[in-house]
Structure 1
């Protein structure tokens, strides 16, 4: 999509790839993160070295952001933990579809047509919020309850989950108290 006059200018920066446990990521420098339009998730078109991709920049719970760099992306961009990479972000109006976790996907598949209609009618951004909310716990019982509550809320016409801080880091494997853990 060509840039529009109202689109923010591309954000270019250098950052180190680091790890938390088995996850490789790039934490955006403060100046880069401050240029994003939200303290929560932001859809972006990104270049890492010469490799272009679309993703959603995640909040770190401290007013900043980070990007997951999976093995496939590391190989494509020929980078790994400890390397410094050049990145360019362009805020995108078009959100990529989230990877819906198996438990939520199964519940949606079994749900009545009314819920399918809500899921299909909401924006990809709203679908990301549902996915984040379901995945924001490491407790299996809480997670199952969130799947059930998601279906119930959509059955009642709710288009977004409520009651969680969109600027917090919600990945239970990478965060502590809503904040991205320190990287190694």
Structure 2
């Protein structure tokens, strides 16, 4: 990893989420606020990092407290020779370029059915598309998700490139949180 003023190094405890299943275990870590402050945005953002020296790339999620949390899958846990409760060394920095987000199939179908919306969607930035997807997928109820997809297509078709009234950090709306950890 290249050193720069956006590189953050810290130690953190790997936490076990309450909702982790036995067949697909994973851990998570909440970034210290000073490490998160070096990132380009408070919402979802992609980082290149290392855990105990093992390199990875991952998308961080906002924690609603002006920081981020990182999901650490079993493969990365194994590579880092770590498990729940271990204190591990992290080094992270923003990815040079935000990768294109995966567009959920229901949004893809809606955009395909709305050529004007699709045209504006294609003309937006990767970050804007990431925020649209985040807004849609953060809906807690299926009917809210459907409404947000309809609203997104309508707003995009009218030329709106950014989702309005959406706090991607969760700080003001308290929409996002890190998982709850097993004590």
TM range (shorter): 0.7 to 0.9
Secondary structure of 2:57's match? strand
Cα deviation per residue 1:18-77 (whole Å; 9 max; x = unaligned)?
A: 133126311112332233343333332222233323333222111221112233433444
TM-score, normalised on structure 1?
Answer: 0.79
**Which residue is 1:183 aligned to?**
181
Which runs of no fewer than 5 residues in structure 2 stay unpaired? Answer: 21-25
**Which residue is 1:136 aligned to?**
138
Whether the aligned pair in 2 keeps the contact of 1:41 and 1:57 (CA below 8 Å) is yes
Change (3 A) 1:118 1:79: farther
Are residue 46 (structure 1) and residue 52 (structure 2) matched? no
Whether the aligned pair in 1 keeps the contact of 2:31 and 2:67 (CA below 8 Å) is yes
1:59 aligned to which of 54, 57, 62: 62
Number of residues of Structure 1 aligned to a counterpart in Structure 2: 174
Change (3 A) 1:71 1:164: same
**Counterparts of 1:78 and 1:108, CA distance in 2:** 43
Change (3 A) 1:160 1:86: same
Change (3 A) 1:117 1:9: same
**Which residue is 1:19 aligned to?**
16
TM-score, normalised on structure 2?
Answer: 0.80
**Counterparts of 1:128 and 1:163, CA distance in 2:** 15
**Which residue is 2:163 aligned to?**
161
Whether the aligned pair in 1 keeps the contact of 2:111 and 2:117 (CA below 8 Å) is yes
**Counterparts of 2:87 and 2:102, CA distance in 1:** 28
Cα deviation per residue 1:156-177 (whole Å; 9 max; x = unaligned)?
A: 11112111222217xxxxxx75
Q: Shift of residue 181 of structure 1?
A: 4.8
Whether the aligned pair in 2 keeps the contact of 1:55 and 1:96 (CA below 8 Å) is no
Are residue 119 (structure 1) and residue 117 (structure 2) matched? no
Are residue 87 (structure 1) and residue 84 (structure 2) matched? no
User: CA RMSD of the aligned region, Å?
Assistant: 2.6
Change (3 A) 1:152 1:80: farther
Cα deviation per residue 1:59-112 (whole Å; 9 max; x = unaligned)?
A: 211122111223343344443332222211112341022222232222223332
